[in-house]
Amino acid sequence: MLDRPRDSALEVRKTYKLYVGGEFIRTESGRYDPVYAAARPGKGRSASAQRRAPSAQRLSAGAQRPLLANISRGSRKDLREAVRKARAAQPGWASKSAYLKGQILYRMAEMLEGRAPSLAKLLKESHGLSPAAAQREVRATIDRLVHYAGWSDKYGAILGTVNPVASSYFDFSVPEPVGVVGIVAPETPDLLGLVSHLAPVVVSGNAAVVLLSETFPLPALEFAEVLATSDLPGGVANLLSGHKEELVPHLARHMDVLAIADAGGDAALSKTIASDAAVNVKRVKRYDVSDYFAEKAQGLDFIEAFTEIKTTWHPIGV
Amino acid sequence: MSTTLADEKARTEALKKIEAEKPRLEFGGAWEYAPAPESKDHVRLEKRYGLFVGGEFVAPRSKKYFETINPATEEVLAEVAEGNAADIDAAVRAAEEAYEKRWRKLSPAQRGKYIYRIARLLQEKSRELAVLESMNGGKPIKESRDVDVPLAVAHFFYHAGWSDKLDYAFPRHRVSPIGVCGQIIPWNFPLLMAAWKIAPALACGNTIVLKPAETTPLTSLHLAKICQEADLPPGVVNIVPGAGETGAHLVNHPRVRKIAFTGSTDVGKIIQRSIAGTAKRLTLELGGKAANIIFEDAPLDQAVEGIINGIYFNQGHVCCAGSRLLVQESVATAVLGKLSDRIATLRLGDPLDKNTDVGAINSKMQLEKIRELVACGVEEGAEIHQSACAIPSRGFWFPPTFFTGVAQSHRIAREEIFGPVLAVMTFRTPEEAVEKANNIPYGLSAGVWTDKGSKIFQITSKMKAGVIWANTFNKFDPSSPFGGYKESGFGREGGVHGLRAYVELS
């Protein structure tokens, strides 16, 4: 391992597990994937190279690079369990007040602040990001959480309308959560990218099942500890590491997943998602975000994509 | 404790006893209704209609014409051109040319003025259009006259005004049109659905190829004439009638940038799958199986009228029809007794008669589908209650029907029948009502009946449906967004939210 202590205290290593239903669990399949350190610390690989063939890279990486961890390779059954937990947790989360949801998202930012050093270290080790670049990604991730925390009690006022119908009704439209949303997280930036899609999905009362970056899963798995200590109810955010090619079709075909944020950046998988989504008329929003650090990578549009507009006709009379 | 199928059966027995013992209402015999048919002589019906492409009615490249009939009499009304792949291609090219050369260059305010013109022309011809709609689709004239046509006009009026105000609807975005939109509409509200599709698409600066349903092309083609009279630039609106195959050519045409479809969930899924991997945008307005929930504190007579309007309006050919009635147990017998009386008074017959409540079923095919599902309901053990009204000897008809003793698993409680057939179930607690209402893959609409305002909001907030009517049903307005949750589709039509389907934001 990197940074091996010189004194006699032997490091206690962390076992990285899936985060499902608010618990850290090993995959039921018993399978694992080794995760190796970046080849040359200080220089990250290009994003496009990472997107192309994560599995091939992992294999070739093994020869010379130090092992960082053996992570769970999530299975179809893990995915189904995650959807089950998400579905069970979603109505309770949606019924929490907007004020409380905002505070819980803000609490995530607080918890991430406390873990900033360890996440920056993981970004350095697993990507080979420079210390400054790792620091920058963690800071941007914290800011993104704070950004969405503030949206919880505001997006409804902007997306909702009172409709001037030509009859004696009070007619209004409000955004509601869709339900269980699948998120295919971008390969990179893995931490900022994850939070950029997770936060706007959960702030409106959805529950999420996320397929994490396959190339760089460790920071996201560590981020699960932020979720676990933030008062976010268990099951609202579920994080799965594994092979996207194996898991994505099951996510896209699952009848209890009602929408998908497709930020995986893989054209072939995106086509699979778009096609399989028809099984239950899933809403699919495909993202091709060129710069997750930019201000355009956040905001109301990311929330709106995973809301349903409900219109109510209420009579006016005596 | 929830109500069980055994409870439903027991109630059905009680209701049967009441029905057998009570004096029958004799409205039919007591009061003779003189026939009051709306005259047809004002309809300028042509013998043969071409495709409307590039601003002209043209002969189809397919060289094929199909007969369109009056479902109430089975008489042929006209021959209509059927579009094939080449026809769709010609229409898409006309729309593309109109988009590039004329429509996108026009100032938004001038664009709006064309749409206002269309609204006015529709008003001028409203009587002709209402009669034609009833002739071609079978719906009662009182509905086409008082609902379909006025609402179609309202949709054009409403959206005309949006043309030069889109920047206000999407702050912080640059708003531009999408381009050529392919629109496929159903046969239940032919002119109104054309208006729902065409008005917002034009207001947002797009051009259109619209495919009306194969059984009801006539009012769309008359709308094409109105586009001519309005001097709408040629190619901005193109109308290509045909069946499913014509629609498939439109969906799969590579130069169509957006598809808007209203129709069945099955076809919606096929469309969603077939455009996967393309850059085409999609909005779907699909099937429904709406729950209409009657609480014990509801004004019952008013609620019964709401049930009637919910399921028998337009012969139940309504995607948002209140086809599942959920009645609180304590008032179930009273409500069903009233319902049974009320359906006996519904007047079924000539759609053009101003006294008609229930018109003709839109097509033979639809009648067969209704019959099949009703037979299935009987076979699965539900108890059928039907109006004993006289059925005309020609045409396609189905009497107002409801089922009691229905389990949630019965096909009549799960599948969209799209006919005048209601499945009745009961509940004990509000929680049970919500659970039963939501226990379906559809989520288009719902109804709630109670005199307590706070209860309305409590229940509506828990229902998974895009449109919820409280103490009313089947109300529509161009300013009010309409569209579904879950397998009832995605995207909204009407209101600010409806504009989103027809703009490109950057």
Average pLDDT, whole number, for chain B? 96
Q: Given this model, what pLDDT does residue B61 score?
A: 98
B466 in contact with chain A, both atoms CB, cutoff 8 A: yes
For the domain that residue B391 is a member of, what is the CATH number? 3.40.309.10
Q: For A44, which DSSP code?
A: P
Asked if B344 and B457 sit in the same domain, the reply is yes
Confidence of residue B2 (pLDDT cuts 50, 70, 90): confident
Q: Are A313 and B469 within 8 A, CB to CB?
A: yes
Burial of residue A242 (number of CB atoms within 10 Å: 0-12, 13-18, 19+): buried
Q: Which residues of B touch A178 (CB under 8 A)?
A: 485
Q: Report yes or no on B480 lying in a domain.
A: no
pLDDT tens digits, one per residue of A54-81: 444 554 555 578 999 999 999 999 999 9
Q: Are A271 and B466 within 8 A, CB to CB?
A: no
Confidence of residue A273 (pLDDT cuts 50, 70, 90): very high
Phi and psi at residue A5, in whole multiples of 5°?
Answer: -65, 145
Confidence of residue B444 (pLDDT cuts 50, 70, 90): very high
Q: Given this model, what pLDDT does residue A2 score?
A: 57
Confidence of residue B24 (pLDDT cuts 50, 70, 90): low
B193 vs B213: CA distance, rounded Å:
10
pLDDT tens digits, one per residue of A240-252: 999 999 999 999 9
Identify which has the larger pLDDT, A100 or B12: A100
pLDDT tens digits, one per residue of B275-298: 999 999 999 999 999 999 999 999
Q: Report yes or no on B38 lying in a domain.
A: no
Distances (CA, A) of A147 to A97, A109, A198, A214, B53: 18, 10, 13, 26, 50
Q: Report yes or no on B481 lying in a domain.
A: no
Answer whether residue A44 shows pLDDT above 60. Answer: no
A51 vs A47: CA distance, rounded Å:
6
Asked if B201 and B279 sit in the same domain, the reply is yes
Asked if B274 and B302 sit in the same domain, the reply is no
Q: Report yes or no on B126 lying in a domain.
A: yes
Structure tokens at A62: 């093994």
> If you average pLDDT over residues B351-364, what whole number do you get?
97
Asked if B320 and B427 sit in the same domain, the reply is yes
Provide, rounded to the nearest whole percent, the portion of chain A with pLDDT above 90.
Answer: 86
Q: Looking at the 3D structure of chain B, how many domains does it have?
A: 2
B57 vs B237: CA distance, rounded Å:
12
Q: Report yes or no on B479 lying in a domain.
A: no
- Fold of the domain spanning A76-315: Aldehyde Dehydrogenase; Chain A, domain 1 (3.40.605)
A308 in contact with chain B, both atoms CB, cutoff 8 A: yes
Q: Which residues of B touch A169 (CB under 8 A)?
A: 472, 475
Answer whether residue B470 shows pLDDT above 80. Answer: yes
Q: Are A310 and B465 within 8 A, CB to CB?
A: yes
Distance from CA of B57 to the nearest CA of A (A): 36
pLDDT tens digits, one per residue of A91-137: 999 999 999 999 999 999 999 999 999 999 999 999 899 999 999 99
For the domain that residue B133 is a member of, what is the CATH number? 3.40.605.10
pLDDT tens digits, one per residue of A192-231: 999 999 999 999 999 999 999 999 999 999 999 999 999 9
Q: Report yes or no on B42 lying in a domain.
A: no
Q: Report yes or no on B63 lying in a domain.
A: yes
Give the largest CA-CA distance in chain B.
73
Q: Are A173 and B265 within 8 A, CB to CB?
A: no
Asked if B321 and B277 sit in the same domain, the reply is no
Asked if B422 and B492 sit in the same domain, the reply is no
Q: Given this model, what pLDDT does residue B16 score?
A: 83
pTM for the predicted model, two decimal places: 0.94
A298 vs A196: CA distance, rounded Å:
7
Asked if B27 and B163 sit in the same domain, the reply is no
Q: Given this model, what pLDDT does residue A47 score?
A: 44
Phi and psi at residue B460, in whole multiples of 5°?
Answer: -65, -30
Indicate the residue of A171, A267, A283 with minimum beta-carbon distance to B480: A171
Compute the half-sphere exposure of residue B257: CA atoms within 13 Å on the CB side of its CA.
Answer: 17
Indicate the residue of A163, A274, A312 with minimum beta-carbon distance to B477: A163
A195 in contact with chain B, both atoms CB, cutoff 8 A: no
Give the largest CA-CA distance in chain A.
82
Q: Given this model, what pLDDT does residue A48 score?
A: 42
Q: For B189, which DSSP code?
A: S
Domain that residue B311 falls in: 5-32+288-470
Q: Given this model, what pLDDT does residue B22 score?
A: 73
> If you average pLDDT over residues A135-151, what whole number do you get?
98
Q: Report yes or no on B310 lying in a domain.
A: yes
Q: Given this model, what pLDDT does residue A50 score?
A: 45
Pairing between strand B445-449 and B467-470?
Answer: parallel
Distance from CA of A137 to the nearest CA of B (A): 26
